[in-house]
Structure 1
Amino acid sequence: MDTLALAKALPKAELHIHIEGSLEPELIFALAQRNGVSLAYASVDALREAYAFTDLQSFLDIYYAGASVLLKEDDFFDMAWAYFEKAKADNVVHAELFFDPQTHTERGVDMGVVIGGLKRACEKAEQDLGISSALILCFLRHLSEDEAFATLEAAMPYRDAFIGVGLDSSEVGHPPSKFSRVFARCRELGLHIVAHAGEEGPPAYIWEALDDLKVERIDHGVRCLEDDKLVMQLARTRLPLTVCPLSNLKLCVVDDMKDHPLKRLLHAGLCATVNSDDPAYFGGYMNANFEACVNALGLNRAEVVQLVRNSFEASFVEEGRRAALMASVDAMLASS
């Protein structure tokens, strides 16, 4: 089995997937019709043509417009189930899904509707597809910390449905320290802590995420390579980075996939992982990201296996499940 075939066949975990970012144009139009929502685009093709992003904000403008069709619990279920079916095809066996409740509650959608639909899809994915999963509630960083506190309070009746909190949306101008108090409260509640940092924002944002928020994972983090001390810290602690290669290309974090820092992150001893971020918008789910990296960066078998092992190491699964997932990698390698 060649390296690319192995990368596609190996079981893997996805740790950086915004479930709203898996909403394909076809489903956007289907849900718009079902819910009587008017869209600014005449067709699926017209919507796809709008996916010419120049930076993070130009993507977010389209992203929030697409989410406007999500109104009922079945909408959230259908969106997540469509993702799980694609994840199954890519041999994803565990997924930790980000969701953005403020994107929906601001439109009058109840928190219980959002979480109820997503949770139902997660349960069906485990039962029917053998994919374990968990939900991570993300605060929108362009909004205030007080609004994040209000979101956390609204989510507390559903505390058993999500395992952690994250921080996403517009990075530049919204440092992690803006949310220090709400993340301290989340730690008191026993929630896992992750945050986007070092995508468009500087390495200083990664330091803030580590020192102020006390994160267990950094989402993106590719700009850490600009700070040697930071790289040494991340390598020493094995604090994971959930890297999203095709996203970085689509949002112009890198100009060419051949320049992507994934291989350098690995060789620096960092616990880097591969993920799809917002695959409906960025041109590919998990295996497409692996394929782009194998082809552009010349990843070898050992590097691919390390990335897959890192995904399980970085996940929030319980130790028995982690050991079983690692063993499944060993079994495939033994037979390939």
Structure 2
Amino acid sequence: MLERDALIARLPKCELHIHIEGSLEPELMFELAARNGVQLPWPDVETLRRAYAFNSLQDFLDVYYVGMSVLVTERDFFDLAFAYLKRARADNVAHVEMFFDPQGHTVRGVSFATVVNGLHAACTKAREELGVGASLIMCFLRHLEEADAHATLDEALRHRDKIIGVGLDSSERGHPPEKFARVFRRAGDAGLNLFAHAGEEGPADYVWQALDVLGVKRVDHGNRALDDDVLVARLARERVPLTVCPLSNLRLKVVDDMRRHPLKRMMDKDLKVTVNSDDPAYFGGYINDNFRAVSSALDLSETEIVALARNSFSAAMMDEDERTTALARFEAVVRGG
């Protein structure tokens, strides 16, 4: 066990499924609330932590959107992202592609520019001072209408140099990917990479839609893909990455026991699986915590742990020179160099 944990800590890795608003630790939430004169419904940090007893994705989102209310200024977004990036560096994360939810802020009167400029400044500083490559993926909130997504994309295209792609998140049930077909087509035509949450609480059909209607390069979560053997064969054949989030799945009751998490079955079916933290401040763990939890529960071998970390580099939106360099460093660590 100690050897396995040491390996997890030692391996470089990429984090490809992190909602930056979901890294807002309670202490920082209260600090920003005081800075901005925001009244929270919880009297203190411990009471807030007790509210993290979720029975569904919607239970989590109800708390998540309230927490976002403390993010007001460019400095707030910078502080949020840089705090996460320092924590990621401590977990030996070399490259991050972080989601952000501008609609959750613009509806409160916070400008798109305020959000993206603060986050991008943190990404720039992380690359210069921490040696962590970091980039931004703007997500559309799927419980809102596609017209709202189009307006958000209009804003995003004014900041095209700061964003590598668009994603789709929020409440999955009742909001199929096909609802956003036109806005994803526009984003793809603009040269943005395409991603979508699918198959977390929604059915395997949502994964099909994400691939065939939206044209995504990666599927975020993808657990329910295992319900469809034809889909599994396609994902394996086309090497479509799945950004799996074990502790998130446990806390949101997508699985009822980590020992029954589908990650090992995904690997056995030759799916390209990566391990990620999703919303680490709310779900009890950053990326190494997720590696440790799922590796222990499923008794993963060292070879399987290495494969999961290696997958994160091949699934990342790096240019090929950057990927070649990063993988060379990774293999040197694996060899003990």
TM-fit CA distance, 1:154: 1.5
TM-fit CA distance, 1:180: 0.2
SS of the aligned residue for 1:320 comes to helix
Deviations for 1:176-219, whole angstroms, at most 9, x for unmatched residues?
00000000001100000000000000000000001100100000
TM-fit CA distance, 1:267: 1.1
Corresponding residue for residue 53 of structure 2 = 52
1:156 & 1:179 partners in 2: Cα distance? 17
What value does the CA root-mean-square deviation take over the aligned residues? Answer: 0.8
1:168 & 1:294 partners in 2: Cα distance? 26
The amino acid across from 1:256 in the alignment is D
For 1:1-336, what aligned pairs fall within 5 Å after superposition? 2-335=3-336
Which sections of structure 1, spanning at least 5 residues, go unmatched? none
SS of the aligned residue for 1:138 comes to strand
The amino acid across from 2:131 in the alignment is G
SS of the aligned residue for 1:2 comes to helix
SS of the aligned residue for 1:215 comes to coil
Deviations for 1:239-278, whole angstroms, at most 9, x for unmatched residues?
0000000000000000000000111111111110000000
Deviations for 1:223-246, whole angstroms, at most 9, x for unmatched residues?
111100000000000000000000
SS of the aligned residue for 1:171 comes to coil
SS of the aligned residue for 2:168 comes to strand
SS of the aligned residue for 2:55 comes to coil
Deviations for 1:95-145, whole angstroms, at most 9, x for unmatched residues?
000000000000000000000100000001001100001100000000000
TM-fit CA distance, 1:4: 2.1
TM-fit CA distance, 1:318: 0.5
Which sections of structure 2, spanning at least 5 residues, go unmatched? none
Aligned length: 336
Q: Is the 8 A contact 1:111 1:154 kept in 2?
A: yes
Q: Is the 8 A contact 1:8 1:290 kept in 2?
A: no
Q: Give the alignment's TM-score, normalised by structure 2.
A: 0.99
The amino acid across from 1:154 in the alignment is E
1:284 & 1:328 partners in 2: Cα distance? 26
1:47 & 1:235 partners in 2: Cα distance? 41
TM-fit CA distance, 1:3: 2.1
1:256 & 1:321 partners in 2: Cα distance? 38
SS of the aligned residue for 1:335 comes to coil
Q: Is the 8 A contact 1:239 1:271 kept in 2?
A: yes
Q: Which segment is superposed worse, 264-273 or 1-10?
A: 1-10
TM-fit CA distance, 1:8: 1.7
The amino acid across from 1:309 in the alignment is R
Deviations for 1:17-66, whole angstroms, at most 9, x for unmatched residues?
00000000000000000000001000000100000000000000000000
The amino acid across from 1:7 in the alignment is I
Q: Which segment is superposed worse, 53-62 or 153-162?
A: 153-162
- Deviating runs (4+, > 6 A) in structure 1? none
The amino acid across from 2:187 in the alignment is C
Q: Give the alignment's TM-score, normalised by structure 1.
A: 0.99
Identity level (%): 59
1:166 & 1:26 partners in 2: Cα distance? 28
2:318 & 2:331 partners in 1: Cα distance? 18
Q: Is the 8 A contact 1:98 1:136 kept in 2?
A: yes
2:253 & 2:9 partners in 1: Cα distance? 25
TM-fit CA distance, 1:5: 1.1
